[in-house]
Amino acid sequence: MIKDLQLRVSLKEEEITNILLIKASEKLAISREDISGIKVLRKSIDARKPKIFFNYKVAVYINEPVPETSEYVFEYKDVSKAKPVHIIGFGPAGMYAALRCIELGFKPIVLERGKNVQDRRRDLKAINQDHFVNEDSNYCFGEGGAGTYSDGKLYTRSLKRGDVRRIFENLVFHGATDQILVDAHPHIGTNKLPKVVSNIRETILKYGGEIHFESRVTDFIIKNNAIQGIQLQNGKELTANRVILATGHSARDIYYLLHKKEIALQAKSFAMGVRVEHPQHIIDAIQYHCDGNRNELLPAAAYSLVHQVNNRGVYSFCMCPGGFIVPAATANGEVVVNGMSPSKRNNEFANSGIVVEINVDKDLPKYERFGVLKGLEYQKDFEKLAFTAGGRSQTAPAQRLTDFVEGNLSSSLNPTSYQPGLNAAPLHSLFPKLIGSRLRKGFKAFGTKMKGFYTAEANIIGVESRTSSPVNIPRKENLEHPEITGLFPCGEGGGYAGGIVSAAMDGERCAEAATSNL
């Protein structure tokens, strides 16, 4: 017999060996010997009150063996001689599209502008140390896409769009910790992600797929409104009649190319703002009701904040406890920040994007001349502003949080995890009012919601501009572009995902769609 139970374990009890077994036998009023095993289905922390609890959802196996954890079997076939599907971009959407193609018996041919995970590291070092951005290999471009040197948080709000469990199990199959199957807020960490990504590459190659790095796609060959081929930056042309376009939200050249070819695009609302960085102990003190020395059983504390200011949402985005702020620009002449954290989340800083919703239909009258690309041009200008205010390198413009809100230039800044360094700048007066004034009101409100959050010990660092795509590449119900037969816009770049998991799920869906009548 199997019984599902909810168990509540205090911090003190968590230290006791076999606490789940003890609690389960008490709750079910059966002897411990009758319990053959306990499988944890979900684990979360309840820190709403000073007495902190872990909430467990468990399956208790009574006089019967505990089965293997996986619900899915991934069966890949040799596809070396099968019909091809071309996939542009090897981020989460492209990787999962390729894996799904193999499961379905089709050969994925992946074209990726960046380098493999190992070689990519050198280019990340160059951004951090020499302030040089390789425009094909950086924090957004290269094997694994923007998801590789990221936080690897696996939360998604797209539960209705696909099977999240299947994505998680596939990550575990490729080397991620199985803890992600039970944690309420699963997370892999930037130190572990490259191995998972290279294991996925190995699977694709082993079963006959192809992956071509340093192969930027520069044009599409289209005849009679159907895709016929792909052109690469080295002049090579490939014949292709099924193309999954998974180039992510930073591939501006792809949006420009589609626009130039008069292929339908739509402007999409998005969000922009800053990263805020606190010492982690301040966030721990607030969230765990302690003096900042959190119990060692507790992970670095996180938060999630949202407030409405003048009809627009101001909210926290991609919060990285125990993490780093990284330079995520994809071109020289712009500054873009993002966040990541290692698996142990043991860095001394907590950072999060704090962003303002931008409604492209109402908020950008001065950009109307750019038509469907108005959001993209506004985003570019915001990033150029950060570049100039930061000192025309990857040094980022920054201000103490309280100075930003009160309108003072910071005479000094707090220590930071951002390697290229910070430059004190009057962001309160430089930012467009649409973003700056809402951020200032939002921060004040967050200080009321989380006592201690609004502090001179935090910096704001600019700019967080790549939360999601400012452009949508439309598609029909069968996921094909409405005007171009054989072209399947996919993942975050198409406007169909907002993170690693949703991009992966969309990749699987596009693979199914692209192969359905092949």
Q: Which residues bind ligand FAD (CB under 6 A)?
A: 88-94, 111-114, 139-142, 145-147, 150-153, 216-217, 246-248, 251, 254, 318, 326, 328, 338-340, 491-493, 497, 499-500, 503
Closest contact distance (angstroms) between CB of 395 and ligand FAD is 18
Residue number, 249 or 281, with CB nearest to ligand FAD? 249
In the three-class reduction of DSSP (H, G, I as helix; E, B as strand; rest coil), residue 220 is classed as strand
Closest contact distance (angstroms) between CB of 96 and ligand FAD is 8
Closest contact distance (angstroms) between CB of 309 and ligand FAD is 25
Residue the block writes with tokens 């289209």: 222
Are 227 and 241 in contact, with CB atoms under 8 Å apart?
yes
Closest contact distance (angstroms) between CB of 412 and ligand FAD is 27
Residue number, 436 or 494, with CB nearest to ligand FAD? 494
**Three-class HEC string of 18-52:** CHHHHHHHHHHCCCHHHEEEEEEEEEEEECCCCCC
Residue number, 56 or 488, with CB nearest to ligand FAD? 488
Closest contact distance (angstroms) between CB of 337 and ligand FAD is 9
Q: Which of 445, 261, 497, 470 is nearest to 380 (CA)?
A: 470
Residue number, 93 or 405, with CB nearest to ligand FAD? 93
Closest contact distance (angstroms) between CB of 151 and ligand FAD is 3
The angle subtended at Cα 328 by Cα 327 and Cα 333, nearest 5°, is 80
Residue number, 363 or 508, with CB nearest to ligand FAD? 508
Q: Containing H/E element for 319?
A: strand 312-320
Closest contact distance (angstroms) between CB of 505 and ligand FAD is 11
List, in order, residues 6 or more apart from 43 with CB less than 8 Å away. Answer: 54, 55, 56, 57, 182, 183, 184
Closest contact distance (angstroms) between CB of 90 and ligand FAD is 5
Residue number, 186 or 486, with CB nearest to ligand FAD? 186
Closest contact distance (angstroms) between CB of 141 and ligand FAD is 3
The angle subtended at Cα 379 by Cα 128 and Cα 510, nearest 5°, is 90
Phi, psi of 24 (to 5 degrees): -65, -40
Residue number, 327 or 486, with CB nearest to ligand FAD? 327
Residue number, 254 or 405, with CB nearest to ligand FAD? 254
Give strand pairing partners of 315: 306, 355
Give strand pairing partners of 45: 54
Residue number, 339 or 436, with CB nearest to ligand FAD? 339
User: Burial, 424: exposed, middle or buried (Cβ in 10 Å; 0-12, 13-18, 19+)?
Assistant: middle
DSSP structural state of residue 488: E
The angle subtended at Cα 302 by Cα 301 and Cα 306, nearest 5°, is 145
Residue number, 436 or 491, with CB nearest to ligand FAD? 491
Residue number, 89 or 462, with CB nearest to ligand FAD? 89
As given in the structure block, the two tokens for residue 188 are 């892999």
Q: How far is CA 241 from CA 85, 221, 461, in A?
A: 8, 10, 44
Closest contact distance (angstroms) between CB of 143 and ligand FAD is 7
Phi, psi of 395 (to 5 degrees): -60, 130
Please tell me the distance from the alpha carbon of residue 488 to that of residue 481, in angstroms, as a whole number.
6
Residue number, 58 or 263, with CB nearest to ligand FAD? 263
Amino acid at 490: C
List, in order, residues 6 or more apart from 457 with CB less than 8 Å away. Answer: 278, 279, 282, 414
Residue number, 275 or 440, with CB nearest to ligand FAD? 275
Sign, CA dihedral 111-506-190-168, equals negative
Closest contact distance (angstroms) between CB of 363 and ligand FAD is 23
Closest contact distance (angstroms) between CB of 379 and ligand FAD is 14
Closest contact distance (angstroms) between CB of 145 and ligand FAD is 2
List, in order, residues 6 or more apart from 328 with CB less than 8 Å away. Answer: 138, 139, 140, 146, 336, 337, 338, 466
Q: Angle, nearest 10°, between helix axes 164-173 and 92-104?
A: 90
